[in-house]
Amino acid sequence: MAYTYIDLFCGAGGLSLGFDRAGFRNVLAVEINPGFAGTYQKNFPSHRLVIDDIKNLDEKRIRELTGGKRIDVIAGGPPCQGFSIAGNIGRTFLEDDRNKLFREFVRFVEILKPRIFVLENVAAMATHRRGETLRTILDAFGNAGDGYRVQCRVLNSADYGIAQERRRTVLVGVRKDLDTEFSYPDSTGVTRTIRDAIGDLPPLESGESSSIPNHAAMRHSAQMLKKMSYVKDGGDRMDIPEELRPTSGDVRKYIRYDSKKPSVCVTGDMRKIFHYEQNRALTARELARIQSFPDDFIFVGTSIQIQQQIGNAVPPVLAEKIAEKVEEALKHAEISQSKLYRK
């Protein structure tokens, strides 16, 4: 019998895809954004998806939606914006209104008491306010429901055969009554470059489309095309002649991917980061490949919505590796329980 999981703040479904691939069975997914939910519905038609603000789901509704099933895992990546010092003076992480959605994740854990939870968030969570924020989070889960033993580690996608430098905090909590431990997946020791991930896709000119789903190039202005033509493989805005060079804006823009390295972190706006050899930004399919989504995973929505869906997602390959280690911990708990009963 498959272990069960819930995906909160599911977005396009990177976590769900990873857990499904590892053999878990989805009981419920929750997403507030209808555009993101459209992609989830298209790719997971058999999952029970609720498109609503998670704060609207009270305990009665949560229990109705889960149908009294045992929930083995709650997974999700609640948006938490309260990691900057500005505007947060004198308030703890949990007191900051920007982190209400984190508290909603804790509430689901308190109500359903899953055997394990997995929470993914930005790397800054681990070091914010010299560790004070993390201690607050650990305390919240330690007191939730029956209480959880919580581990925290910052994982880099590039360590797991994914063609992207993407560092994220992954918290894993094991219910205190379970005789088991969770261990994070080991690095594969294999480095994949961006060329490894997308090099076989057909080349495109600015504004050109293809028959491959989501592989269509955005249309750039003549001025932008001229600027990017100067930027070499792995180069940046300093390759652009001074009279054309942008003098302000994000320094992470007007750069060209380095074909010999993993991609920079994929975000919701990659329009001013250029293909390593073609004069254009990457297509949604290329960004999805970098995030380790398969080509049969179809994204729907406007171009900016799709970029946001891809940029916000947990890479499915990493999610699957985490899910496999969660399964190991759950199986060990069952073995320990059966030994106890035999005594």
Spatial separation of the C-alpha atoms in residues 62 and 120, rounded to whole Å: 22
Amino acid code (one letter) for 197: A
Q: Tell me how many helices (H) and strands (E) the chain has.
A: 10, 9
Dihedral angle over CA of 241, 243, 247, 253, nearest 10: -40
Whole-number Å distance between alpha carbons of 19 and 22: 5
Closest CA to 271 of 279, 281, 285: 281
- Catalytic residue (one of 10, 80, 152, 265): 80
Cα–Cα distance measured from residue 145 to residue 82, given in angstroms and rounded to the nearest whole number: 25
Q: CA 197 to CA 239: how far, in whole Å? A: 25
Asked if 80 is an active-site residue, the reply is yes
Gyration radius of the chain's alpha carbons? 21
Q: Which two tokens stand for residue 96?
A: 């900051």
Residue bearing tokens 């797991």: 160
User: Which tokens belong to 329?
Assistant: 């911990």
> Which residue numbers are catalytic?
80
